[in-house]
Structure 1
Amino acid sequence: MTPRRNTAISEVRIPRPALEAVDRMRESGEIHVWWWPLGTRTDPADYAVLDEVERGRAQRFHAEADAAAFTATRAGARRAVAALLGIEPHQVGFGRRTCPGCGDREHGPPAVSDPPVPLAVSLSRTAGAGAFAIRAGDWVGVDVEARRPVEPAGLADMVLTATESAHVLGLPEGPARDAAFHRAWTRKEAVVKAVGLGLLGMALNTLDVHPAQDGPVQVVHRYRGEETRWQVTDLDIGERWAASVARPAADPAGPVHLHAPA
C-alpha cells in the first residue's frame, strides 16, 4: 500500500520541498498530467535517467520503437515527479501498490516508492504519444489512445455498451464518430486504471462513461457487488490522440494541470 506519512521519519528521509508539494496537492485536489510525443529511436538522455531495472526492461524489447517508447515514457515520468517534488530524477523510484483485487503486490497499480510520499500515479502510451498522471492520495488513472477509424462490427462491439454504441454509431462515419468512440475508450481505460483492477474488475463493454456528454462526467464502476464512483476529465492533446484522466468522485475536484511537451 502507499506509505503513510510519519512526520518523525519523513522530515529526515523526504526533502522538505517534496513534503510541501504533496501537502499543496492534497489541499487543492489538483491533478498533474504530462504528455509527450514518442519517437522510434531511444534517446540516450532518456536512457540515462532510468534505473537498472528499467534499463533491463528496455533492453528486452525486440523492436527499437517499443524500447524507445518505454524509455521515453519512464524517463518522462521520472522527470515529472522530480520537477513536482523539487528533487533530482535519480532520486525518484517507482514501485507498486497492493492489488485491490487479490492483495498481490507484484501487479498492483504503480506508485512512487522513493521518496515515500502518498502520491498516486498512472502511465499510458500509444502509437506516437505517452502520458503520466499524478495526484496526492490513493487512486488516479490516465489513458491515451491514437485515433483511428471505428469499425462498427469490430472494436466498437468489444468496447461500448449498447447505449454508447447507439450514440457513437449513430454519428456520421468519419471524424465525429471516431472522436466519440475514442472519448469513450479513453474514459473507460482511465477508470479501470484508477480502480487498480484493469479488466479483471469490469469489462469495458459494461462500463458506461456517457460519451454523448462533455466532461467531466461521473462514472460508476462495479466489482464484486460494490460500487465506486469516479470523475473523468477529457484531455486535449491534439487531433492525433484522445486522452482522459480519472479520480475518485468523492475527493476534492481540483484543477487538472496539463503539461504539454516543451
Structure 2
Amino acid sequence: MTPRRNTAISEVRIPRPALDAVGRMRESGETHVWWWPLGARTDPADYAVLDEVERGRAQRFHAEADAAAFTATRAAARRAVAGLLGVQPEEVAFGRRICPGCGDPEHGPPAVTRPPVPLAVSLSRTAGAGALAVRAGTWVGVDVEALRPVEPAGLAEVVLTASEGAHILGLPPGPARDAAFHRAWTRKEAVVKAVGLGLLGMPLNTLDVAPAQDGPVHVVHRYRGEETHWQVTDIGTGGPWAAAVARPRTGPPGPVRIHTPA
C-alpha cells in the first residue's frame, strides 16, 4: 500500500547559498565572531530590521539605553547571519532550542530558525558593546563584559576556583588584576552558554578556565556525571571590554574569524 502524503506539511526550501555557506563552515571548522559598539539611542535603521516580536520586546524596556542596546544587538546579529548565509536580513529569524537540561523550549540557547540550517549561535551584550558567535553544528558560546574595577576577594568563593583565585589575587590591585578577573569571567560565561545550561549546570567556582594562560585554553565542563570538552579563545576588542568564545574540541580545529566594526 502506498503511504499517503501529508499535504498539510509544506516543504521548507533552504536557499542554496545558505546551504553552501554552512557546508563550508562545517568542513573548515571555523567559528565567526562579530562585536560592535552600542549607543545610547535606538537607530531607526536597526529598529526596522527587527521582527514584530523583537519590536515588542524593545518597546517594553523602560530605559532608552537598554532598548537601544537590545535593538542594535538583534539587528547586528540578523545582518551578520544574513551576510554569512548570502540571504537578506528579513529572511533571518531567531528563536530558541530546547534546553538540554530540562527540555523546556522557553529558555534554551538561541538558534537560527529561518533559514532552518544547522547553525549554532550565541549572543552577548554589556555596557557599550554586543557580540555574536556563529558556527556550523550545535554548540557555541560567546561573552563580552565591560572592564571595570572589581574586588575579586569578595567574589572568589562564588566565582573562582582555588588556583584561579591564587593567580588573580596574587596580582597587585589595579588594571592587571581587573583584566585577569574579567578574562576568567568571560571564559566561564562563554563555556556555560556553549553548554546550553547557563549557571544551572556546573558552578562557576568549580569550572577552571586557567586565566594565567594565554588562550586558546582547554576547559572541561561536568554535569550529571558527564564531561564535555571546550576550546576557549579570548577575543581582542581593542576597547574597554573583555570577550571570549567557546566551541567544542571535537571536529577540525578551524580558525576563529573576528569581524570588527567598520
TM range (shorter): over 0.9
Question: Do structure 1's residue 171 and structure 2's residue 171 form an aligned pair?
Answer: yes
Q: Cα distance, 1:152 vs. partner?
A: 3.1
Higher deviation after alignment, 127-136 or 169-178: 169-178
Q: Which residue of 2 aligns with 1:38?
A: 38
The CA deviation string for residues 114-160 of structure 1, in whole angstroms up to 9 with x for no partner, is 00000000000000000000000000000000011121332344321
TM-score by length of 2: 0.94
C-alpha offsets along residues 35-62 of structure 1, whole Å, 9 cap, x if unaligned?
0000010000000000000000000000
Give 1:151's aligned residue.
Answer: 151
Q: Distance in 2 between matches of 1:137 and 1:207?
A: 24
Write out aligned runs for 1:10-49 (5 A): 13-49=13-49
Runs of 4+ aligned residues of structure 1 deviating over 3 Å after TM superposition are none
TM alignment of 1:129-144, pairs within 5 A = 129-144=129-144
The CA deviation string for residues 208-255 of structure 1, in whole angstroms up to 9 with x for no partner, is: 000011100010101011111100000000240000000011222101
Given that 1:145 and 1:242 are in contact with CA atoms closer than 8 Å, whether structure 2 keeps it comes out as yes
Shift of 1:202: 1.1
Which structure 2 segments of 5+ residues have no match? Answer: 1-9
Matching residue of 1:68: 68
RMSD: 1.2
Aligned to 1:242: 242
CA contact (8 A) 2:121 2:132 kept: yes
Alignment gaps of 5+ in structure 1? 1-8
1:127/1:145 contact within 8 Å kept: yes
Report the Cα distance in structure 2 between the residues aligned to 1:151 and 1:169, rounded to whole angstroms: 9
Which piece of structure 1 moves more, 200-209 or 71-80?
A: 200-209
Is residue 199 from structure 1 mapped to residue 199 from structure 2 by the alignment? yes
SS state of the match for residue 13, structure 1?
coil
Q: What secondary structure is seen at the aligned counterpart in 1 of 2:191? A: helix
CA–CA separation in structure 2 for the residues paired with 1:72 and 1:85: 20
Q: TM-score, normalised by structure 1?
A: 0.94
Question: Which residue in the other structure is 1:190 paired with?
Answer: 190
In 1, the alpha carbon distance for the partners of 2:213 and 2:244 equals 14
Distance in 2, Cα, partners of 1:134 & 1:156: 31
- 1:178-212 deviations in Å (ceiling 9; x for gaps): 11111100000000000000000011111100001
Inter-partner Cα distance in structure 1 for 2:239 and 2:70: 23
How far does the alpha carbon of each residue in 1:45-80 deviate from its partner, in whole angstroms, 9 at most, with x for none?
000000000000000000000000000000000000
Greater gyration radius: 2
